[in-house]
Amino acid sequence: MRPVLFEVGGYSIYTYGFMIAVGAIAGIAYMAIQGKKETGLSFDQANTLFLLIFFAAVVGGKVFLFFEDPSGYVREPAKLLRGSGFVFYGSFLFAVPTMLWFFRKNKLNTYKMLDVMAVTTCLLHIFGRFGCFFAGCCHGTPADHFLAVTFTDPVCYANPKGIPLHPTQLYEAFFIFLIMLYLLWRRNNKRFDGELFLSYLIGYAIGRFGIEFFRGDTERGFVLGGLMSHAQLVAVLILVVALLLYRRWIHHGVSVIGKRNLKTPVV
């Protein structure tokens, strides 16, 4: 693939970082426009929220990355800081409390904003997975079908190189895209505020659990004697919590058929 997009004055512009930047621009644009429409979110608030989420996501992604190889990072802590690796679920679990705090502090409708953030997260994540694909990280196991991709660039993170692998990054990007399409279709017909956010959690947890079986980057860590990866365990926990919340919120926040004013669910 193409880990380095181009070089300027001796500095390398990495494709992963570029794709993250594109996803961030798309995400903040959607959040600003839809957030203003749904809750009166101002442009300044949107910028502040995005910066807070970005910081929380970086910290969370690194914290969970540390737990993939604690002894290794203790021996070489600089590797954790200088590396480009992040764990999505770590970023997500740190970002959600940050969002909730911001919504309450600024008196924004929490449930409506969570629905906005569901699509925003999809946009950022799709471009992020494309970045992973070009960088060769989060790669799959060996494969022999027409979708298989062979990584040969010595700079990329894929290992082994020169062998056809499952393009798990593209599998996930496509799956998230389908989730986003569903959320956009459901946006004007949701049964309660917060439904899109819970639908995103449920859909992504199921998809991520399945895609993990095709992942080949074994350094991401496993639990229960190798029975499942860290990401699969977190996916199961999030799925259970999201389903319980969905059941609770739909009983307290269901709208009257044909009316647009939805009741606010009760946590």
Mean pLDDT by 10 residues, the chain (267 residues): 72 81 92 94 92 87 65 56 62 89 94 95 93 88 92 82 93 97 94 94 96 86 80 93 93 48 49
pLDDT attached to residue 77: 58
Question: Distance (Å, rounded) from C-alpha 85 to C-alpha 176?
Answer: 20
Q: Which pTM was predicted?
A: 0.84
Say which amino acid occupies 91: S
Say which amino acid occupies 152: T
Supply the DSSP string of 16-69, one letter for each residue: HHHHHHHHHHHHHHHHHHHHHHHH---HHHHHHHHHHHHHHHHHHHHHHHHTTS
pLDDT attached to residue 255: 46
